[in-house]
Structure 1
């Protein structure tokens, strides 16, 4: 039986405070863990329909994003299956959400919507701070969000392993990720703290 093709996508805009949540989560996974070859980790940024071919090729799609559900800031929701497109359009915060909802619709119209869909979203606190970092209540959801993603990847047959050489699957993000702010850390500390400013991951 062929392995499931898995796309883990972080969407959003790093330049506008909490809109960067999705991209920060994918960067942290990329820096802290290794995964089987059928897993693609992608910084989708605000690419919109440019992401369509990647989504069409996937059997399983997991998306990290900041989504306005109308909840208290920092509230995290896990949305599964055919509910994902509806939640992606819950309230348009920026162009990236409109674009990604269109991606899902286009994939469905072409008969190539991934069989399994998961959205891990967090309610933003601040979106109007150009150049600002994640707010504390949103930043605090990174570890829980990564833990949920690791659980899904394990369920899909693609458990992650820490990049430090640990042979056992690691399903607790708190063992490998925290958020670091301050002066430039050492390479080892940057990796352990998931500092996105010093990662080598490329955007699509």
Structure 2
């Protein structure tokens, strides 16, 4: 791809509904909320969209990816992977279906000769994934500022001058603070699935559970 100019994609991938799986998306949100960036920088909540992200990736000259990654390290450890190691690492360390999908995106971009010139993966070692409706664990949430600073450093190295902006109130129901505050306690809401429901599903009766 020779017509990508100086386009930059900052991509947060993961699933907000599974605790630390939401790290990448929360990083992208925080960058969008806290910094004014020029028009050539696109910040995208990639969620778990897989190959739907391919056009965005192939249009970018530089790519930053935020994600929760199984490095086999202590929970909350932040690690940066760059260049050719990013596709190889994501292929070898798949932790969830969205990473399988994003590995396909990178592989497809490579086959199309559309892989960005610069690849940066900013990943955190998760503590908890099996918590439906849960939020980031403290060890993981604490690394958000550092992850953003790494991304800002890379952006500056590519000629971007981020400008800090006054944080505005986010009215979205998925705003991190509101999301955490609105969650019922453990006595009112099961954290890892309702055993009665799961047992009935295993027996082949998915719709007749009285909860």
After TM superposition, is the score higher than 0.5? yes
Pair 1:22-2:24 in alignment: yes
Given the alignment of the two structures, is residue 63 of structure 1 paired with residue 42 of structure 2, yes or no? no
- Return the alpha-carbon distance in structure 1 between the equivalents of residues 107 and 48 of structure 2: 17
Asked whether the equivalents of residues 27 and 196 of structure 1 are also in contact (C-alpha less than 8 Å), the reply is no
Conserved in 1, the CA contact under 8 Å of 2:28 and 2:44? yes
DSSP 3-state at the match of 1:117: strand
Q: CA deviation at 1:196?
A: 3.8
TM-score (norm 2): 0.77
Flag structure 1 segments of 5+ consecutive residues without an equivalent: 165-175, 177-186, 199-204
Cα contact 1:67–1:90 (8 A) shared by 2 = no
Aligned equivalents of 1:101, 1:197: Cα separation in 2 = 31
Contact 2:8/2:62 (CA < 8 Å) preserved in 1? yes
- Give the aligned partner of residue 103 of structure 1: 105
CA contact (8 A) 1:48 1:99 kept: yes
The 3-state SS of whatever aligns with 1:10 is strand
The 5-angstrom pairing of residues 101-180 of structure 1 reads 101-164=103-166
Q: Does 1:13 align with 2:24?
A: no
Give the TM-score normalised by the residue count of structure 1: 0.80
Is the Cα contact below 8 Å between 2:80 and 2:121 reproduced in 1? yes
Which is greater in Rg?
2
Give the superposed CA RMSD: 1.9
Aligned-partner Cα distance in 2 for 1:123–1:89: 16
Runs of 4+ in 1 over 6 A off after TM superposition: none
Which SS does the other structure have where 2:92 is aligned? Answer: coil
The residue number in structure 1 matching 2:184 is none
2: CA distance, partners of 1:115 / 1:126: 33
Contact 1:28–1:196 (CA under 8 A) maintained in structure 2: no
Q: Residues 53 and 116 (structure 1 numbering): CA distance in 2 closer, same or farther, change over 3 Å?
A: same
For residues 20-59 of structure 1, what are the structure 2 equivalents within 5 Å? Answer: 20-59=22-61
C-alpha deviation, 1:163, in angstroms? 1.8
Q: Give 1:4 deviation, angstroms.
A: 1.1
Structure 2 alignment gaps of length 5 or more: 179-211
CA shift for structure 1 position 162: 1.4
| Cα pair 1:68 1:90 within 8 Å, conserved | no
